[in-house]
Structure 1
Amino acid sequence: MSAPGPGAAAAPAAVTGLVFRPLATLRSLARYGDAVELPLYPGHRLFVLSGPRHAEHVLARHQDNYLKAFTYRSMRAVLGTGLLSGEGETWRRHRRLLQPVFTRRNVAGFTPQIVEATRRMLDSWDRHPDGTRIEVSGEVSALALDIVGRVLFGADMTGRTGQIARALTLLLPAVAIGTFLPFLWGPRSTRAIRAASERFGGPLAAIDRPVRQLIAERRATPTVDGPPDLLDRLLTARDEEDRTRLTDAEIRDEVTTFMLAGHETTATTLSWCLALLSAHPAVRDRLEQEVDAVLAGREPQAADVEKLRWTTAVVNEAWRLYPPVWTIEREAVRSDVIEGIPIPVGSTVAVPAYLVHRNPAVWPDPERYDPTRFLSDADRDRYAHIPFGGGRRACIGAGFAQLEAVLVLAMMTQRYRLELTAGLPRPLASATLRPGRRLPMRLTCRP
């Protein structure tokens, strides 16, 4: 049984749509069903799978049969071979080295640094007159970069956040080419990807300089007190199996990757949370009530996160509607069958979280914003909510991202309300699913 999809005459328009209008095109393809097949280019087929069982099959149960697709080539060209873009034994080795940084206990230990960075941002907001308009995306971007610097690299990013954030923002289009451009020309697009990466060499150099500086400073002054952070692990850890260390290039690639991924994911999440709360005052009122009851005016601690259930639900619902990792592509290294659909060897398989999270068989009224979906242990498939992927390749920093988003959102809610000055923005499918325009919001003190 083959999967339904656009016929030969309509397929080119669908493929072009995936490049220039990816979200609208994905929703259009979903009308064919949870599994859609279309010719990508001569001799190669694309399968778009949007059911939780499809996601589990590709990302977990049969993950060894599905490697990173050629769509990740530009990510490697821009960011190097870090955890986000690496594959095979190199990826497994790096994952083994870095996993101890992101254990549940270690992540909870990041709380004081997250709280301190957020306090500094909120204190700077206190200097604004009530009703001031601020550009929220830029504010939370700088905050997220500050937190990543302090938590993962033990570095004070003050004075560098603006430059690095601008450079990272300019790099995102080059990274996004890896998702879009190959759909038109397949592996032959590599030359165009390299050309685009060279075009963005200025922003890449702007990041490379502080990254090298961070590494040099840590080598000169190693961490003495406290548990090792990510940079310590990168510089000193030896592989348990072959006792080798990472090369300078590997260290640089991982620092750059975590700086981009750790900053962009949180900034995007907080932007969507604040925009959605402004558009749904009843949800925001309940959030304020919970934060006031749990924290009683004090700053949050790690133990408070479990009590902030509505705050966590608000974050999860934002991730459902606007997942940071909005699509995942894999290449089948052997022929397979997924839910009765034959997948030829070499085919590209896309699992868009954007569609999985809107699957009406799992999520009733899927376009409705409703954090109550995450308040109960509903009998829901584990792979119905995959904002950070799944299986062994699930984002190593997912727990850190959730802790950070809940803590920052709770602290913002304690002091301020933020109101949209325009309507809810449309999403832009780039390297992440970010608001498609700047996000000016009116800042007012809580009554």
Structure 2
Amino acid sequence: MDALPGPRGRAALAMLPRLRRDPLELISTLFRDYGDRVTVPSVGGHLVFLLSNPDDVAHVLVANQANYVKAPTYRPLKELLGDGLLTNEGESWARQRRLVQPMFARRHVLGFAPAMSGAATRLLDGWAALPDGTVVDAAAEMSELTLDVVGRTLFGADLTGEADGMGPALTTVLAAYMKVVRSPLFWLVPNFEKWRTPNRRRSERAEAHLRAVVDRIIAARRAQPGPDRPDMLDMLLAADMTEDQVRDELMTFMLAGHETTANALAWTLYLLSTHPQARDRLAAEVDDVLAGRAPVAEDADKLEWTAAVVSESMRLFPPAWIIERQPTADDTVAGMRIPAGSIVITSPYLVHRNPAHWPNPEGFDPARFLPDAAAGRHRYAFLPFGGGRRQCVGGGFAMLEATLLLAAITQRFRLDLVPGARPVPQPTVTLRPGGGIPMALYRR
């Protein structure tokens, strides 16, 4: 078996403080210094493999996926999400997936378009009451917008009044999660994530707030039936699931269903502001396709440049920036033995920047995603929604949502990054814009 390159000796020991300070910078440095197949010495008894080659990604996530389970780093998420679709394993997970999958069939997803367009209209009407040049936090605005979408489409609930409380609570929970998994004690002490530290107590208060929102949604639906068109909440309540299981699924989709798309849209608006030619082309396409009306489902296939902009944004700033697995039995990847119990990291952030598959990988070029542009590209060189049977069930929903919302925003407003602002990627469960993205609003 071949030995993969990677840091050794003092260089390996120096990784721990860097992991705590900035894990995104650490894996980027490993990728730059050692290539797309890297080994890292044992961390808490686990040998770590960082694989950023699409062939390896396909092996771990698809070809031999039955041999891989979620890595221990997902364990603290169970404190928030319980046994929801993101964190569960085995037959219980498979049953959940079979239950939820039909909700995200294309025929159902297209039916969500009016609610998506309506949410955009409500946000933009609010912006229209502001004078030109008003500065808003694009990240916070997109979070509120996508929360409105997920509430109305999946839960039949109006969550706009909850946004002010849910945003800080979610930020607290995600920050607490990262503090736990970056700590050396997480790898050395069993159940460290359950220790009653100040960090844990802050997280528990925020978790309680989020669960209270979900409980109110469930109670309201039990008291009064939902719309004529059944939504996800109806499906969950009709299934043979306990109250805790229903809550876990709602918590999962509230996080995955709005946090990821909000980040994708926020980064997209930032990139468009710094690439005016791409933004001008986007505005021209939107004006041509929509002709002054609100976007509808049938527009999605015509908005080719709009969808390409979203995809290129997710290439550079994938909301799900890291995927971690653990083999249950020994495996071989690229001629390297992967022992059972190792940690295998496949990072979309790095895969999307692999120069062997992406010319000018740091550049913003939506043309990469126009029809026919992907000819010859490795299928797993781009994986914003993961891959294999655990690929994000809502990928189609997210792409439709992001495309229609971006079109609606572009139709009515131009957003310019405030001079001197430099958004920094903040790697939590998702890739958030650290400190927000201050942007000035201008009517078109």
Q: TM-score range by the shorter chain?
A: over 0.9
Secondary structure at 1:39 match in 2: strand
Shift of 1:41: 2.5
C-alpha deviations, 1:143-190, integer Å up to 9, x for none? 111111100000112322211222112211123346533x66426262
Amino acid at match of 2:438: P
Aligned counterpart, 1:223: 226
Equivalent of residue 393 in structure 1, options 383, 390, 393 = 390
Trace 1:19-168 onto structure 2 (pairs within 5 A): 19-30=20-31, 31-41=33-43, 43-168=45-170
Percent identity over paired residues: 50
C-alpha deviations, 1:314-355, integer Å up to 9, x for none? 000110001011011101101011111110111110001111
Amino acid at match of 1:223: G
CA–CA distance in structure 2, aligned partners of residues 139 and 344 of structure 1: 45
CA–CA distance in structure 2, aligned partners of residues 184 and 362 of structure 1: 37
Runs of 4+ deviating beyond 4 Å: none
Tell me, yes or no, if structure 1 residue 206 matches structure 2 residue 209: yes
Normalised by the size of structure 1, how large is the TM-score? 0.95
8 A contact 1:276–1:424 mirrored in 2: no
Shift of 1:194: 4.5
CA–CA distance in structure 2, aligned partners of residues 193 and 351 of structure 1: 27
Aligned counterpart, 1:405: 402
Secondary structure at 2:34 match in 1: coil
CA–CA distance in structure 2, aligned partners of residues 426 and 223 of structure 1: 41
Equivalent of residue 282 in structure 1, options 277, 280, 297 = 277
Amino acid at match of 1:212: D
C-alpha deviations, 1:13-66, integer Å up to 9, x for none? 124323322121111111212110111325420000001011111111110111
Secondary structure at 2:35 match in 1: coil
Of stretches 430-439 and 248-257 in structure 1, the one that deviates more from structure 2 is 430-439
Shift of 1:277: 0.4
Aligned counterpart, 1:16: 17
8 A contact 2:425–2:433 mirrored in 1: yes
Amino acid at match of 1:285: D
Which 5+ residue runs of structure 2 have no aligned equivalent? none
Aligned counterpart, 1:299: 294
Amino acid at match of 2:322: T
CA–CA distance in structure 1, aligned partners of residues 116 and 428 of structure 2: 27
Secondary structure at 2:294 match in 1: coil
Normalised by the size of structure 2, how large is the TM-score? 0.95
CA–CA distance in structure 2, aligned partners of residues 224 and 359 of structure 1: 46
CA–CA distance in structure 2, aligned partners of residues 42 and 281 of structure 1: 47
CA–CA distance in structure 2, aligned partners of residues 41 and 442 of structure 1: 45
Shift of 1:437: 1.8
8 A contact 1:71–1:178 mirrored in 2: no
Task: Assess, with a 3 A threshold, how the Cα gap between structure 1 residues 27 and 300 changes in structure 2: closer, same or farther.
Answer: same
8 A contact 2:273–2:415 mirrored in 1: yes
Task: Assess, with a 3 A threshold, how the Cα gap between structure 1 residues 7 and 305 changes in structure 2: closer, same or farther.
Answer: same
Number of matched pairs = 437
8 A contact 1:140–1:267 mirrored in 2: yes
Amino acid at match of 1:24: E
8 A contact 1:73–1:190 mirrored in 2: no
Aligned counterpart, 1:240: none
Task: Assess, with a 3 A threshold, how the Cα gap between structure 1 residues 419 and 42 changes in structure 2: closer, same or farther.
Answer: closer
Aligned counterpart, 1:338: 333
Secondary structure at 2:414 match in 1: strand
8 A contact 1:65–1:333 mirrored in 2: yes
Pairwise CA RMSD of aligned residues?
Answer: 1.5
Amino acid at match of 2:294: E
8 A contact 2:417–2:440 mirrored in 1: yes
Secondary structure at 2:136 match in 1: strand
Equivalent of residue 250 in structure 2, options 252, 255, 258 = 255
Task: Assess, with a 3 A threshold, how the Cα gap between structure 1 residues 322 and 224 changes in structure 2: closer, same or farther.
Answer: closer
C-alpha deviations, 1:363-403, integer Å up to 9, x for none? 01111111111112321011000111110001111111111
CA–CA distance in structure 2, aligned partners of residues 15 and 158 of structure 1: 41
CA–CA distance in structure 1, aligned partners of residues 152 and 107 of structure 2: 18
8 A contact 1:74–1:197 mirrored in 2: no
Amino acid at match of 2:150: V
Secondary structure at 2:364 match in 1: coil
